[in-house]
Amino acid sequence: MMASKKSAKASAAKHDSAKELYVGLIESEPMRRDLLETRKDALILLKRVEKTLLMREQRIYLEGELRKAVAQLSDEIDSVMSDLPELPKEPAPKKSDTPEAPSVTKAPKDTKQLSEIDRKLAEIDKRLADLQ
Amino acid sequence: MDMPVFVKIERYKESLSTLTKSKERLALARDLLERLEQIRSKQESEMHQLHQELAVIDSKIGELQELFRQVE
């Protein structure tokens, strides 16, 4: 960058009109190099942004897999519990005490959907607090 | 006085097998969670890099802009 500044100043001395100076700047090698360098930086940045998008997709996928695994785990525990005979003193937990399997949620599209997700999250928090 | 109560499990073998599966499922969930944490950490590091690279480009464009202004 500094090289191109010096070059620009040198060009300014050589050229009389602004147009000629502009042409001199663009044609000067340091200027071209600086532009190419900045372009390369921007391309690297683009790749990095693409990478974060892919990471996001990967996270969504893994979170889905985790949800599936935990839901199956919950079903398996239910299945073992159903094999236990009921004790007279301690009745089996009411259906309302067992958490419902969370539904698959898609990415929110509007604020209405977002507030619906907020509501569901609050409901889950409440259920979790009740269970603990 | 509390006495131990023995409860007959209707399908003992099936239950045992289910619990073994549950342990495997738990290990899978733990593995997934670890991978998620790793990705989150990588994402944070990427975000930090993005900030730095944006600042570098911003400075380079500023300098180029300054050069062009000298022409005017």
Whole-model pTM: value is 0.59
What six digits make up the tokens of B58?
A: 């911003």
For residues B36, B37, B40, B44, the Cα torsion angle rounded to the nearest 10 degrees is: -170
Residue of B nearest to A57 (CA): B39
A-B contacts at Cβ under 8 angstroms? 107
Give A89-100 pLDDT, tens digit per residue.
655 555 555 555
Which of A55, A62, A63, A89 is most worth mutating to test chain B (most B CB atoms within 10 A of its CB)? A62
Query: Who has greater pLDDT, B48 or A31?
Result: B48
Would you give the distance in Å from CA A111 to the centre of its chain? 18
Q: What is the mean pLDDT of chain B?
A: 86
Query: Which residue among B11, B25, B61 sits closest to A83, beta carbon to beta carbon?
Result: B11
3-state SS of chain A: helix, strand, coil percent to 5?
75, 0, 25
Distance CA B9, CA B6 (A): 9
Give B25-47 pLDDT, tens digit per residue.
999 999 999 999 999 999 999 99
DSSP reduced 3-state for A90:
coil
The per-residue pLDDT for A14 is 52
Residue of A nearest to B51 (CA): A45
Whether the predicted interface score ipTM is above 0.85: no
The per-residue pLDDT for B12 is 79
What six digits make up the tokens of A56?
A: 């996001």
pLDDT of chain A, 132 residues: tens digit per residue: 545 555 555 555 555 566 666 666 666 777 778 888 889 899 888 888 888 888 898 899 999 999 999 999 999 988 888 877 766 665 555 555 555 555 554 555 566 665 676 677 677 677 766 766
Distance CA A105, CA A125 (A): 17
The per-residue pLDDT for A48 is 86
Residue of A nearest to B11 (CA): A83
The per-residue pLDDT for A33 is 85
Which of A52, A57, A61, A81 is most worth mutating to test chain B (most B CB atoms within 10 A of its CB)? A52
CB A47 within 8 A of CB B46: no
Query: Which residue among A41, A83, A85 sits closest to B57, beta carbon to beta carbon?
Result: A41
A106 half-sphere exposure, CB direction, 13 A CA radius:
3
